[in-house]
Each structure stands twice: as C-alpha cells, then as structure tokens.
Structure 1
C-alpha cells in the first residue's frame, strides 16, 4: 500500500504542476489533485505514527490532528481568498461530522472486526467531548441565534470576539493536558504498547517529511480550489455538498488513514484522540483562525452556519458522547456512527 501511495505522489504531483500550467480540463485535474493530496496525506500519517511511538498517544494524536488539519486550513484559506465563504463553512461542518462519524465510525468498525472489544482512556475521551459540546453549542449555535437581529458589521464583530475567546480556551486546554495534568489520567497499558514499538522514521526525519509534505499539499490544495466551480456545474454538486463531503474528506485524509491504522493495531487511545481531538481543534482553533484571517480579504467570514449544518454538528457530538462514554468500542458502534454519516451525506447531497 505504501508503494502505491509513493507511485501516486511520483505521478500525481508533477502532473498537478504540468496540468495547472497547461490548463488541463478542470474535472480531470480535480481528480488528480484529490488523489495527490490523499497520497501525500498517507506519508504524513506514517510520519506522525513514528512521532506517536516516540512521544506517546496524547502528543502523537495531537500532532496527527494538527498536521492533518493543516491541510484543511490551507485549502480553506485559499477558498476564502477566492470568496468561497459557503464552501469554507461547509468544509468546517464536514470536518466535524466527518471526524466524529466517518473517522470515528471506521476506526471502531475496522478495529472491532479484528478485536471483539477495544478499550480506550475514558477520562481523555470525556474531557474532549465535554469541550467539544461547549465549543459547538457556544461557538456555533449562539452566533446563529444572536445574529438574527444583527447587521453584518455586528455579526463579524461577534464572530471575531468568539474566535479570540475560543483560541485562548483551546491553548489553555492544551496546557492542561500536556503540562499541568500530563499523565494524570493516562492509562499505563497505552504507554507500554507505544514503547514496545520501533518507529519507522527517526524524530528528525519524520518532522522534515511532515514539513515537505505540508508544502506539497499547500500547492496542490491551492490548485484544487480553482476546480470547485467547474466540477460543481459538471456533476450538479451544490457548494454545500462540495464543502461538507468532498473538501472535508480530502482535507482530512491524513487523519482518516492514521486513525483507522491505529484502531487496527488496537491503539484506541490514539485513534480516539485523533478523531475527537481533531474535531476539537477544528471547532476551537481552525474555525476561529479562519474567521480572523478572513478579515484580510475583501469578504469576511462570519461564524454563522446554516440550520442543517448546525443540526448535523450537534447531532454528531451528542451521538459521539453516547458511544464513547463507557470507554469501550466494538464494530456495531462503529456501524452506527457510519450509518449516521451516510444519512447526513444523503441529506446534504439532496439539498
């Protein structure tokens, strides 16, 4: 599988450069860009897995989520520059439901097929879903309600104020988990499992590969954004569907691959940290950063989602809380999460 991804990169990235210079058909290049980003994301997943073995499940999961979300952040910034506010908001929605339902569901399902019963650190999971509930309800639902009677200027001001507070709280959460309470709630089993393995790459090599992969993804993502309009018209996809499903899946490909791989190896602490921790980072850091960055462009992005997007995110969070609250998983719980994702996907496609 790794050789296949390397071949895709060797062919896809040069073709991406040549195709953009020679103006190949947008629909063709859309496929090339998506496959190239997914292939590069697999390399990022291998690098972060090496870092996970060295640094432990918490930091490894955080690094995986951060570099995985860096791809989506880059795509979203270019989309903001192009004035595609709807696509960016939809991609944030897609990241939330995609990480919780698709990534979490596939992890539980694939891991559950191999192991009848998998355990993970329930304290970390509850801490993350508690923060996630707060961020979705307070940061996403409240603006939707308050801005009903506000003009555009006040809406942006409210969005910026909420964004600054959320970023500060997210940094405080990292300080809590990695400094003041590091190891307090960590299970011994997960740490022992990590230490038994030998990383594929050294720490320095893994970081260099991650940096180079991020640069390659940045270029490819910028070109991908320019194909959205043509692809949407060709296949009849709405801006909402492209953002919620297509951009979210491509942008989070690294996390998808890594979380499923970790679950297959029975490293559920890392898999859950990637799925839930990545969603938390999207809600509390990436979305607020995009709101602030949008102030630099002609059209600013308010932190206001449509009603279907709000309901989809809130439903995903509450379903995840019910599933992870016991600290155990199995394949049927994974199937339940996947079923919810596909139902929402059909709904967004038909909107």
Structure 2
C-alpha cells in the first residue's frame, strides 16, 4: 500500500499542477486532486506514526489527529475564502461523523476480526466522552435554541464567544492529560504488544516530510475547492453531501488509515485516541478557529448547523459513548457504528 501511495504522490502532484495551469476538466481534476490529497495524507500519517513511536500513545494519537486535521483545516480555509460556508460546516459535521462512526467502526471491526476482545484505557475513553458531550451537545446544539431569535450580528457575536471558550477548554484538556495528570489514570493492560518498534523515518526526516506534504496539500486544496460547484451540478450532489461525505473523507484520510493500522496491531489506545481525540480537536479547536479566521473574510461563519447535522452529530456522540465506556470492544460493536454511518450517509445524499 505504501508503494501505491508513493506512486500516487509522484504522479498526482505534477498532474495537479499541470492540470490547474492548463484548465483541464473540473471532473477529472476533482478526481486527481482527491487521490493526490489522500496519498499525501498517508505520508503525513506515516511521518506522525514515526514520531509517535518515541512519544507514546497519547502524544502519538494527538500528533496523528493534529496533522490529519491539518488537511481539512487547509481545505476549509480556502472554502471560507470562496464563501462556501455551508460546505465548511458540513465538512465539520462529516469529520465528527467520520471519526466517531466510520474510523472507529472500521477500526473496531478490522481489529475485532483478528482479536476476540480488544482493550484500551477506559479512563481516557470516559474523559473524552465528557468532552464530546460538551463539544457537541452543549456548544453546538444549545446555541441553536438562542440563535433562532437573534439577529445576524448577535449570532456572530455568540459564535465568537463560544469559540473562545471552546478553544480555552480544549487547551486546558490537553494540559490536564499531558501535564498535570499524565500517567495518573493508567490501566494494567495497555492493550498493545510490548515489541520494540523502529520508526520508518528519523525525527528530522519525519518533520521534513510533514512540512513538504502540508505545502503540497495547501496548494492542491485551494484548487480542489474551485471544482466543487461543477462536480455538484454534474453528479447531483448538494453542498451538504460534498461537505459531510467527500471533503470529510478526503480531509481525514491520514488518521483513517493510521487508526485502522493501529487496531490491526492491537494498539487500541492509539486507535481510540485518534478517533475520539480527532473529533474533539475538530469540534473544540478547528471549528472555533475557523469561526475566528472567517472574520478576516467578506462573509463571517456562524457556528450554527442545520437540524440534520445537529441530530446526526448528537446521535453519533451518544452511540459512541455507550459503546466505548466499558474499555473494550469487538467486531460487532464496530459494525454497529458503521451501520449508523451508512444510514446517515444515505440521508445526507437524499437531502
């Protein structure tokens, strides 16, 4: 698989540059851009995995989630610049659904087929559950009640206030997990093997790969955004479907692959940290950050989602909490999460 992604990068990046300069078909370029971003995301995933081997599961999962979300953040910034507010909000929804239902579901299913029972740190899972409830139920759903009777200016002001609070709490949560309470809540069975792993790349090489891949993703993402309108008209896709399904899957490709790989290695602590940690980062850091960044563009983005988006995210959070709060999983729980994702995917496609 690594050779395939390497070939895609060395073929896709030049084609992306040539195609954008020569104005090739938007449909063709949409396919080339998506495949190239996914291949670049795999490089970012491999680089962060190399760094994670020497940093431990918590920091490793955080690094993977951060650089995985960097792709979507870049795409979203260019979408905001183009005035595609609905696509950005939909892609945030898709990231929450994708991480909690698709990534976790596939990881639990693939890992569960190989191992009867897989365990992970239940204390981390419960800590993340509380933050998920806050991020989606409190910070996303509750404001919808207030904004229904507010002016546009008041809605933006509320969104800014919520964004600042969420970013502050997210940074406090990182400080809690990585500094003040690091190592306090540990399980006796860490779930993974004790074998010593050798990183694929050294620290310097991994950082260089991350830097170059991020630059390439930034360039391709800006061009990808300009293909959305024509692709949507051609295939009958709404902006909602493009954001929830297409942008979310492409933007989170790196962590999707890494989480599944860790599950196959029986390293569920890292898998859960990627799936739930990435969701928290999207909801509590990326989304609020995009609200603040949008203030520098002609159209500011309010932190107000549609009712289908809100209900889908709340349902995904509640289902994930019920399934993960016991500290172990199996293939059937994975397929349950996947079933929920496909049901929601069909609904968004038909809207």
- Normalised to the residue count of structure 2, the TM-score between the two structures is 0.98
Give the Å deviation of 1:212. Answer: 1.2
Q: Which residue of structure 2 aligns with residue 162 of structure 1?
A: 162
Give the Å deviation of 1:192. Answer: 7.6
Q: Mapping of 1:78-227 within 5 angstroms?
A: 78-187=78-187, 189-190=189-190, 193=193, 196-227=196-227
Q: Which residue of structure 2 aligns with residue 262 of structure 1?
A: 262
Q: Which residue of structure 2 aligns with residue 277 of structure 1?
A: 277
Secondary structure of 1:125's aligned partner? helix
Q: Where in structure 2 are there 5+ consecutive unaligned residues? A: none
* Kept in 2: contact 1:74–1:218 (CA 8 A): yes
Give the Å deviation of 1:188. Answer: 5.4
Secondary structure of 1:298's aligned partner? coil
After superposition, the Cα gap between the structure-2 partners of 1:132 and 1:72, relative to the gap in structure 1 and judged at 3 Å, is: same
Question: What's the CA shift string for 1:25-53, capped at 9, x where partnerless?
Answer: 00000000000000011111111111111
Question: What's the CA shift string for 1:267-310, capped at 9, x where partnerless?
Answer: 00000000000000000000000000000001000000000000
CA distance in 2 between partners of 1:195 and 1:127 (Å): 28
CA distance in 2 between partners of 1:81 and 1:240 (Å): 18
CA distance in 1 between partners of 2:71 and 2:195 (Å): 29
Q: Which moved more, 1:285-294 or 1:177-186?
A: 177-186
Q: Mapping of 1:66-85 within 5 angstroms?
A: 66-85=66-85
CA distance in 2 between partners of 1:334 and 1:69 (Å): 23
Give the Å deviation of 1:4. Answer: 0.6
Would you say 1:228 and 2:228 are equivalent positions? yes
CA distance in 2 between partners of 1:20 and 1:192 (Å): 45
CA distance in 2 between partners of 1:162 and 1:228 (Å): 29
After superposition, the Cα gap between the structure-2 partners of 1:194 and 1:248, relative to the gap in structure 1 and judged at 3 Å, is: farther
Q: Mapping of 1:197-346 within 5 angstroms?
A: 197-346=197-346
After superposition, the Cα gap between the structure-2 partners of 1:254 and 1:298, relative to the gap in structure 1 and judged at 3 Å, is: same
Q: Mapping of 1:25-104 within 5 angstroms?
A: 25-104=25-104
After superposition, the Cα gap between the structure-2 partners of 1:106 and 1:224, relative to the gap in structure 1 and judged at 3 Å, is: same
* Kept in 2: contact 1:167–1:284 (CA 8 A): yes
Secondary structure of 1:149's aligned partner? coil
Secondary structure of 2:310's aligned partner? helix
* Kept in 2: contact 1:56–1:191 (CA 8 A): no
- Normalised to the residue count of structure 1, the TM-score between the two structures is 0.98
Aligned residues: 351
Root-mean-square deviation (Å): 1.1
Q: Which residue of structure 2 aligns with residue 8 of structure 1?
A: 8
Q: Where in structure 1 are there 5+ consecutive unaligned residues? A: none
